[in-house]
Amino acid sequence: MSLNVEHQSVRTLPSEKPIRLLDNAGHAVHGAAAGGFELPELDTLLELYRRMVIARRFDVQVTALTRQGRLATYPSAYGQEACEIGAISAIEARDWFFPTYRDSIALLTRGIEPGDILQSFRGDWHNGYDQHAHRTASQATPLATQALHAVGLAHAARLRQDPIVTMTYLGDGATSEGDAHEAFNFAAVWQTPTVFLVQNNQFAISVPLSRQTRAATLADKAVGYGMPGYHVDGNDVAAVYAVTRAAVERARAGGGPTLIEGLTYRIEAHTNSDDPTRYRLARDVEHWKRRDPIERLEKYLVSEGALSESMRAEITDAAESVAAHTRDLMTVEAEIDPLELFDHVYARPRAALLEQRARLEAELADAAIHAAQPGAAQPAGAAR
Amino acid sequence: MTATTTEQAAPQASAPTQLTMAGALNAALRDAMAADDRVVVYGEDVGPLGGVFRVTDGLQAQFGEDRIWDSPLAESGIIGTAIGMAMYGMRPVVEMQFDAFSYPAFEQMVSHVAKMRNRTKGRMSLPMVVRIPCAGAIGGVEHHSDSSEAYWTATPGLTVVMPSNPADAYSMLREAIDGDDPVVFMEPKSRYWSKAPVALPVTTAPMDRAVVVREGTDVTLLAYGPTVRTALESADAAAAEGLSIEVVDLRSLSPFDDETVGASVRKTSRAAVIHEAAQFGGYGAEVAARVTERNFHHLAAPVLRITGFDIPFPSPKLEEFHLPTPDRVLAALDTWEWDD
Ligand SMILES: Cc1ncc(C[n+]2csc(CCOP(=O)(O)OP(=O)(O)O)c2C)c(N)n1
């Protein structure tokens, strides 16, 4: 079988008004505005609600821990829960996910332990979870680079005839990077089963979307590559889920990649070291807070009689226990082994690294001796 | 999909035939692809054309488009997708068409290829090979003759090797493909067409070892890739003047074989390193520093560097003025104070 298939190029422009299945008041949307998509079943929406509530509680907790100095940094996704949770919920355990630094709550939904997610932000090691076990790549920091990995892995899976899909998230700023272009193009040319979710939270650190692109929507970019593009209300988890789910199903059936833009807003700072008052108005933040993705779904579920008080209490409890667990993990000092620095650079041992490891080991032993002698406190580096 | 072992699929040993380095690389790719169906090859023009240097000649006809194919023209894309493929258990061998065109992929190489294993505490390795035709002396125009080895060797996590002859080219490429670490496999373009008698499959010294290619007693010349021939020619010329030169082909730039190099330097007590790349901040600076640090009391003179000038690689009509020559090597050796 050759994968080198002829395919139809896609020329349909995404809608300028974002696709929406629930409006801001929590009412179901029908007709053209829904873009031909159906509101998911109540059970699905309830599960999405639960995941979003837990995700937000986690995010708020980690932000607080970061302010207390427990983590070196944390990029919050507060306000972006519909994108983060809606899309990741559309793929399966066998599929692969390629996240960025911003997407910790998607990892939580993927079943990764809080301590493992936060290991890199705490500063213990660059990545804390087993990528193979969770079929989830390391959170990428260099922008848009991970999108190419998602395409490559998807292509390898196709060569092996494994029916898996890869999903990757990018920010609006990241779409300006060359690697985003290369990833979209490779995916379209190779027709890989890849779903690109652009979370347009309207800022790349301080730079607004208007300084990033002249395209009417980021989803428009899909057309130039010959793949379908969708412009979606990124604060409507029902819409994000329905559109990504359709893209995942098409990809799995051999229909190639899809580019989805979720229009959302980052409520928190870029990271804890950012000062957003320098580049955006409190008024705008308030405006977007009133379009909260969790409240919107909650209104709908309550109006449908699908969310009882006892369910709400149970979900709150679950969220609190994730937060408490996270607090407990982050208040314990991590055990680190400096000698491990040398252990994972190459598969094949290197003489020069073994020498350097021995040197550090001797320094540490010296430092331990000095520490044991009262009044002889010396920094490790000075011990000769 | 099952991987077969190298032994099972190893072709019958042939009688020695005259083989070019390009031919040896082609045979290595062919044998590696036959031995292990996880090996896939892609890049720019590697399919029907067989690569601009014909290193992949005939491979698509033999293995089909699912094993070797032309990728879109995008170096970061080639490396970035190869990362994803390696993550899924493939062994991609990708081609950068020319040295200077690997720079768009710099970020993927440095930020991801080099770091993946370390980032994941060894749980995710990237068994991939990046083939880069490198260096000058082929009359190439701008951007077709760079020596980019210092960028790669300055990057922990990468293994960087450069063969200088057909037998090593075959053996080292097979070893690079079989290993679990990502390898930057640099191929000196000016040596692609030079022939030697080789009986395939050939296994030369391990990829991470330097090799003494000519014995001598007075001076150690450290060379790699295209400058091994320069070093050997220098040794011939020096012999006529009564100077006995030992030539070491480094083969592996990272890791550096301190042992083989150190043994040679302690024997001769004088060393010089030759490369095409610019001198300032170049790979030779690392070689000179290491050799000095480890062998200072055995050295009778400072370690010398005979390199290209500190200029962007020149146009074809000017490259002969830039490249290190045996005359320059011998002139450099003359700057040492000799006892006799
Ligand atoms: C290649 C690269 N350049 C610059 C940076 C520094 N940087 C980190 S985040 C960021 C903004 C990214 O914005 P966007 O893609 O919109 O994602 P968001 O942070 O809003 O989720 C920048 C410039 C980087 N990480 N990678």
Q: What is the pLDDT of residue B141?
A: 84
Q: Under a CB-based contact definition with an 8 Å cutoff, are residues B166 and B229 in contact?
A: no
If 0-12 CB within 10 Å is exposed, 13-18 middle and 19+ buried, where does residue A229 land?
Answer: buried
Q: Under a CB-based contact definition with an 8 Å cutoff, are residues A229 and A223 in contact?
A: yes
Q: Under a CB-based contact definition with an 8 Å cutoff, are residues B310 and B279 in contact?
A: yes
Q: Under a CB-based contact definition with an 8 Å cutoff, are residues B25 and B60 in contact?
A: no
Q: Under a CB-based contact definition with an 8 Å cutoff, are residues B234 and B219 in contact?
A: no
Q: What is the pLDDT of residue B121?
A: 94
Backbone angles phi, psi at B49, to 5 degrees: -70, -30
Ligand 1 pocket, mutate which of A74, A81, A143, A201 (most atoms under 8 A from CB)? A143
Would the ipTM clear 0.95, i.e. be above it? Answer: no
**Side chain identity at residue A70, one-letter code:** R
Expressed in percent and rounded to 5, the helix, strand and coil fractions of chain A are 50, 10, 40
Kindly list the residues from chain A whose CB atom is less than 8 angstroms away from the CB atom of residue B156. 345
Mean of pLDDT over chain B: 94
Question: Measuring CA to CA, which residue among B268, B117, B228, B251 is closest to residue B180?
Answer: B117
Q: Under a CB-based contact definition with an 8 Å cutoff, are residues A158 and A1 in contact?
A: no
- pLDDT, tens only, A57-94: 999 999 999 999 999 999 999 999 999 999 999 999 99
Residue B41, pLDDT above cutoff 80: yes
- Residue carrying structure tokens 């024997």: B267
∠ CA A40-A147-A135 to the nearest 5 degrees?
Answer: 65
Q: Given A7, A279, A287, A359, which residue is catalytic?
A: A279
**Side chain identity at residue B114, one-letter code:** A
Across the interface, of A127, A157, A179, the residue whose CB is closest to B119 is A127
| Cα gap B269→B222, rounded to integer Å | 13
Count of pairs with CB atoms under 8 A, one residue in A, one in B: 148
Our CA dihedral for B327, B333, B337, B339, rounded to 10 degrees, sits at: -100
Q: What is the pLDDT of residue B230?
A: 98
CB contact under 8 A, A178 and B104: yes
- pLDDT, tens only, B281-302: 999 999 999 999 999 999 999 9
Catalytic residues of B: 144
- pLDDT, tens only, A221-260: 999 999 999 999 999 999 999 999 999 999 999 999 999 9
Q: Residue A212 CA to chain centroid, in angstroms?
A: 21
Provide the CB-side half-sphere exposure for A246 (13 A, CA).
Answer: 17
Confidence of residue B4 (pLDDT cuts 50, 70, 90): very low
Q: Ligand 1 centroid vs A101 CA: distance in angstroms? A: 9
Considering chain B, what percentage of its residues have pLDDT values greater than 90?
A: 91
Q: Confirm whether pTM is higher than 0.90.
A: yes
Q: What is the pLDDT of residue A3?
A: 62
Kindly list the residues from chain A whose CB atom is less than 8 angstroms away from the CB atom of residue B259. 351
Tell me if A171 CB under 6 Å of ligand 1.
yes
Q: What is the pLDDT of residue B11?
A: 54
Q: What is the pLDDT of residue A9?
A: 66
- pLDDT, tens only, B102-155: 999 999 999 999 999 999 999 999 999 999 999 999 888 888 999 999 999 999
Residue B2, pLDDT above cutoff 90: no
Residues of chain A with pLDDT under 50: 1, 379-384
For testing the chain A interface, which of B60, B85, B88 should be mutated: the one with the most A CBs within 10 Å? B88
A159-190 burial, b if ≥16 CB within 10 A, otherwise e? Answer: beeeebbbbbbbbbbbbbbebbbbbbbbbbbb
Q: Ligand 1 centroid vs A173 CA: distance in angstroms? A: 6
Across the interface, of A130, A152, A178, the residue whose CB is closest to B123 is A130
Closest ligand 1 atom, CA of A205?
11
Q: What is the pLDDT of residue B6?
A: 42
Kindly list the residues from chain A whose CB atom is less than 8 angstroms away from the CB atom of residue B40. 159
Q: Under a CB-based contact definition with an 8 Å cutoff, are residues A85 and A111 in contact?
A: no
CB contact under 8 A, A159 and B40: yes
- pLDDT, tens only, A122-139: 999 999 999 999 999 999
Structure tokens, B174: 């097979």
Beta bridge partners of A19: A232
CA distance A95 to chain B (A): 12
Q: Under a CB-based contact definition with an 8 Å cutoff, are residues A234 and A264 in contact?
A: yes
Q: Is the dihedral of CA A39, A43, A46, A51 positive or negative?
A: negative
Kindly list the residues from chain B whose CB atom is less than 8 angstroms away from the CB atom of residue A348. 159, 179-181, 208
CA distance B320 to chain A (A): 36
CB contact under 8 A, B84 and A151: yes
Q: What is the pLDDT of residue B139?
A: 87
- pLDDT, tens only, B190-220: 999 999 999 999 999 999 999 999 999 999 9
Q: What is the pLDDT of residue B13?
A: 67
Tell me the mean pLDDT in the region B307-316: 92
- pLDDT, tens only, B239-278: 999 999 999 999 999 999 999 999 999 999 999 999 999 9
